[in-house]
């Protein structure tokens, strides 16, 4: 498989993810990974990470953990800081989602460090995604001032790149934190911000998902 074909198939999978078609996305990446022999370590790490995330969304936790572990091994073999940062990020999100907040934070800080050494937009974008997940982790451990400050830092980086999906995700995770704190009004404001940026990214399924969560009020 040549690099152009690999990238085309990865983009197909990402479009399925953005449409919240997680079962189809998982099957798509599983099919892609049947051709591991023709992939570089970087391609293999990226494909395994996307597959692992789809498995996580489908709550196939044991399968997701195995795939995140395999992605991390492939990333180490790539000797690429950007790829390694992505793998640390995926492992951190998984660990935190399963209640291992300490290990999740360690992975996310390692991701942030790896991305910090990458020049250009990809490193900056990686920092933004690492920061927004760190912010959510800080919120889970009641370090609230640090959580809200880190959400701001994440949005600042992602906004500079026109990464509207990232900006929207930061607003959505912040809204979830406000909900847990019992601040329904400000949670709704943050969800509205998230919907605006999901719409800007061209993700109507996410907009509708959040609209339903807010009781069907149309805000974008």
Mean pLDDT per 10-residue interval, the chain, length 220 residues? 91 94 97 90 94 95 94 92 94 92 95 90 95 96 96 97 96 96 95 97 94 66
pLDDT of residue 219: 40
- Residue 27's CB is within 10 A of a number of other CB atoms, namely 15
Cβ neighbour number for residue 162 with a 10 Å cutoff = 11
Instruction: Answer yes or no: do 50 and 103 share one domain.
Output: no
Contact in structure between 129 and 89 (CB atoms under 8 Å):
yes
Provide the number of structural domains found in the chain: 3
CATH classification at residue 54 = 1.25.40
Query: 153 and 88 share a domain?
Result: yes
Q: Which pLDDT score, from 0 to 100, does residue 117 have?
A: 82
Residue 208 domain boundaries = 162-220
- What pLDDT is attached to residue 144? 97
Residue-level pLDDT at 36: 85
Helix intervals (H) in 79-120:
81-97, 101-116
Domain limit, last residue, from 78, 103, 133: 78
Residue holding tokens 């760190």?
A: 134
> In this structure, are 153 and 171 located in the same domain?
no
- Global confidence as pTM: 0.85
Whether residue 135 is found in the same domain as residue 87: yes
Residues 183 and 147 in one domain: no
């Amino acid at each position: 498989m040549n690099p152009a074909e690999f990238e085309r198939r990865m983009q197909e999978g990402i479009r399925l993810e953005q449409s919240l078609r997680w079962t189809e996305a998982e099957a798509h990446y599983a099919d892609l990974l049947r051709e591991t022999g023709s992939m570089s370590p970087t391609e293999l790490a990226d494909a395994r990470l996307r597959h692992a995330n789809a498995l996580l969304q489908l709550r196939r936790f044991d399968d997701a953990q195995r795939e995140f572990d395999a992605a991390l091994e492939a990333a180490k073999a790539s000797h690429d800081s950007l790829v390694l940062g992505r793998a640390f990020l995926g492992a951190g999100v998984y660990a935190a989602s399963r209640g291992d907040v300490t290990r999740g934070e360690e992975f996310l800080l390692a991701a942030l460090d790896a991305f910090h050494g990458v020049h250009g937009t990809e490193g900056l974008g990686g920092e933004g995604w690492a920061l927004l997940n760190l912010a959510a982790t800080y919120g889970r451990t009641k370090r609230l001032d640090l959580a809200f400050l880190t959400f701001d830092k994440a949005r600042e980086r992602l906004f500079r790149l026109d990464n509207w999906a990232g900006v929207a995700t930061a607003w959505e995770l912040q809204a979830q934190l406000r909900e847990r704190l019992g601040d329904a009004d400000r949670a709704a404001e943050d969800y509205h911000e998230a919907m605006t940026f999901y719409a800007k990214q061209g993700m109507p399924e996410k907009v509708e998902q959040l609209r339903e969560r807010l009781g069907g009020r149309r805000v974008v």
